[in-house]
């Protein structure tokens, strides 16, 4: 009974808010159009977009009036045309041009039928769906990408990318607009992601599209590796290239045409930092290759990463750790503001760190390293076959079983040939706490099905590399004690002085966090940093390449 009363009241309310002066002709048109829409959609599948949309709106037309397009249709066209991130020759903008002309011709004709108007109504609804798919769900074919991930896993590459579907309801947006709650423009903008500096990256995309329309940039042509103080005929092309992307700025020096001067060196360093290169001001083959990436490829990379952000976890916790794999960095945020950043080492390309979200719950001082079975089988057993004393200097204990009273086994007493080629074994391997331990002195646990965690490492020299993909999937920290100190600032049960004393010894100590911290492992090869600078990074796992194979063009 309540539903029977609700629908007519809703219908009248929508009619009133759509226009303060509803013409009698429009009321008659709405009534007739609703009947045509209802009958036209009877044969549609239950979950088709048109059927779901118009069922929610009681089969009422949204875009077409008796004598003109509705205000909602005009707002939709205006917003999409001014949005600024679509390709000018893409289908969505071309469809708008076509639909506007169709509407103009239809309303100019004295013989226009109701059926033709409803046909155009449906076409505009499909345009709306196309735009919302583009804007809020993106162009990545996640099904195809997950299939490629599965193929890697079949070939013994353990990896995964956990998705978080965008919480956007395109039909709800139209429903809210029809009820007069807000304009389409405001509702669209409200649905845009706010995390990971999405809007700033979207602004960068608009800027690069404008640069592309203005002609983009020409290649930098150098005859040899360029070092500070040298001269080269290609220097003017380098200066021009860096000027276009605002890397060459605030220069008071009078530039000599072919001289690689200090101001240009500063611009090259800025460019190198923004692209994850060593900032040495030397324009060698690596830097030159990145400089000469086309503006089209950069636009594609920005689009790809905007779409990745849409599918990341959108939580906004007080304390938040973000690890960006292509950047090889950890970022610690409190209330959305950067408090600490740190270099990290991530998984190798054949042992990639998974993309997922979790919660840091525990910290372990002086940890044991319970060595994964895959590492034992693939790496340790072949070496033990060749040399049973291989483990002697590594402080690794072998035990039969996992219980507290499990018996220690000496490597000499085992015929390791019996356990090659993945044959099951009754042993577990653990490296004892100490300076040589592969986990270093501290590990941070966020229990997950990938057995991935953050930890210290004795191999500190690797942090000086610009590319730091060396682990079996876990995340090695450059300065774990600083991260421990950060956790102590909002966990009163972490006593830093006491912790330092514990770390001088070898006693394993567990600390359960009172205030747990969200952690998100992400994969962004383009983003805007905390200082507003557009960053690009190398596609370390070839995920860009894989996703672009089935990237939808709009």
Instruction: Give me the residues paired with residue 324 across strands.
Output: 329, 522
Does residue 300 have a pLDDT over 50?
yes
Residue 424's pLDDT is: 84
Does residue 494 have a pLDDT over 90?
yes
Confidence class of residue 21 from pLDDT cuts 50, 70 and 90? very low
Q: Please report which residue ranges of 109-154 form alpha helices under DSSP H.
A: 114-132, 142-154
Does residue 206 have a pLDDT over 70?
yes
Domain boundaries, the chain: 1-161+166-196, 235-291, 316-368+433-522, 375-431
Residue 418's pLDDT is: 87
Nearest CA among 409, 380, 379, 384 for reference residue 397: 409
**C-alpha–C-alpha distance, residues 408 and 398, integer Å:** 6
**C-alpha–C-alpha distance, residues 466 and 444, integer Å:** 24
Does residue 398 have a pLDDT over 70?
yes
Residue 329's pLDDT is: 98
Listing DSSP states for 25-59 in one string gives: HHHHHHHHHHHHHHHHTTTS-TT-HHHHHHHHTTT
Structure tokens at 161: 């990318």
Residue 255's pLDDT is: 66
Neighbour tally for 476: CB within 10 Å: 25
pLDDT digit string (tens) for 90-137? 999 999 999 999 999 999 998 899 999 999 999 999 999 999 999 999
Does residue 487 have a pLDDT over 70?
yes
**Mean pLDDT on 48-74:** 94
Does residue 480 have a pLDDT over 60?
yes
Mean pLDDT of the chain: 91
Residue 421's pLDDT is: 80
pTM: 0.90
Q: How far is CA 470 from CA 378, 452, 476, 525, in A?
A: 16, 14, 9, 19
What percent of the chain stands above pLDDT 70? Answer: 94
Specify the range with the lowest mean pLDDT, choosing from 58-72, 169-183, 210-224, 345-359. 169-183
Structure tokens at 412: 């000499």
Does residue 392 have a pLDDT over 50?
yes
Does residue 452 have a pLDDT over 90?
yes
Does residue 16 have a pLDDT over 60?
no
Dihedral sign computed on CA atoms, order 470, 531, 537, 542: positive
**Mean pLDDT on 458-466:** 94
193 by Cβ neighbours in 10 Å (0-12 / 13-18 / 19+) ranks as buried
Confidence class of residue 155 from pLDDT cuts 50, 70 and 90? low
Confidence class of residue 524 from pLDDT cuts 50, 70 and 90? very high
Does residue 1 have a pLDDT over 70?
no
In the CATH hierarchy, which top-level class contains the domain 316-368+433-522? mainly beta
């Amino acid at each position: 009974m309540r539903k029977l009363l609700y629908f007519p009241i809703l219908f009248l309310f929508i009619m009133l808010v759509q226009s303060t002066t509803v013409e009698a002709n429009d009321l008659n048109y709405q009534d007739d159009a609703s009947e045509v829409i209802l009958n036209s959609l009877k044969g549609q599948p239950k979950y088709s977009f048109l059927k779901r949309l118009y069922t929610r709106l009681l089969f009422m037309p949204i875009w077409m009036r008796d004598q003109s397009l509705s205000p909602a249709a005009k707002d939709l066209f205006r917003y999409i045309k001014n949005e600024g991130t679509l390709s000018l020759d893409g289908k969505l903008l071309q469809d708008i041009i076509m639909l506007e002309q169709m509407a103009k011709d239809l309303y100019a004709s004295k013989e226009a039928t109701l059926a033709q108007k409803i046909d155009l109504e449906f076409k505009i609804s499909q345009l709306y769906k196309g735009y919302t798919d583009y804007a809020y769900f993106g162009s990545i074919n996640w099904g195809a990408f997950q299939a490629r991930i599965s193929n890697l896993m079949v070939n013994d590459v353990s990896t995964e990318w956990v998705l978080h579907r965008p919480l956007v309801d395109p039909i709800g947006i139209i429903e809210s607009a029809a009820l007069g709650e807000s304009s389409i423009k405001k509702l669209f903008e409200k649905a845009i992601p706010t995390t990971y500096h999405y809007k700033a990256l979207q602004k960068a995309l608009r800027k690069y599209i404008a640069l592309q329309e203005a002609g983009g940039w020409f290649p930098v042509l150098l005859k040899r590796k360029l070092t500070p103080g040298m001269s080269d005929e290609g220097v003017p092309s380098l200066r021009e290239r860096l000027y276009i992307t605002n890397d060459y700025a605030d220069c008071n020096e009078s530039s000599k045409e072919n001289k690689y001067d200090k101001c240009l060196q500063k611009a090259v360093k800025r460019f190198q930092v923004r692209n994850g290169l060593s900032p040495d001001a030397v324009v060698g083959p690596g830097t030159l290759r990145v400089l000469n990436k086309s503006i089209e490829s950069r636009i594609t990379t920005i689009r790809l990463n905007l779409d990745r952000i849409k599918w990341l976890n959108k939580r906004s916790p007080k304390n938040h750790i973000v690890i960006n794999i292509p950047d090889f960095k950890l970022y610690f945020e409190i209330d959305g503001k950067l408090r600490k950043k740190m270099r990290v080492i991530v998984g190798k390309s054949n042992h990639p760190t998974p993309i997922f979200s979790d919660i840091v719950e525990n910290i372990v001082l002086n940890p044991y390293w319970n060595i994964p079975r895959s590492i034992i089988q693939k790496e340790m057993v072949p070496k033990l076959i060749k040399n049973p004393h291989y483990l002697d200097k590594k402080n690794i204990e072998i035990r039969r079983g996992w219980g507290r009273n499990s018996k220690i086994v000496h490597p000499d007493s085992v015929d390791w040939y019996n356990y090659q080629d993945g044959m099951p074994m009754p042993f577990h391997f653990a490296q004892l706490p100490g300076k040589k331990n592969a986990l270093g002195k501290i590990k941070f646990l966020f229990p997950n099905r990938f057995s991935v965690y953050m930890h210290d490492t004795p191999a500190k020299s690797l942090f000086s590399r610009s590319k730091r993909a060396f682990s079996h999937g876990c995340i090695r920290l450059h300065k774990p004690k600083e991260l421990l100190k950060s956790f102590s600032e909002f966990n009163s049960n972490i006593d830093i002085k006491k912790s330092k004393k514990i770390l001088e010894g070898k006693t394993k100590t567990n600390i359960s966090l009172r205030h747990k911290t969200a952690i998100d492992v992400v994969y962004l090869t383009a983003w805007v940093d905390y200082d507003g600078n557009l960053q690009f990074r190398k596609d370390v796992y070839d995920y860009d390449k894989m996703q672009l194979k089935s990237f939808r063009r709009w």
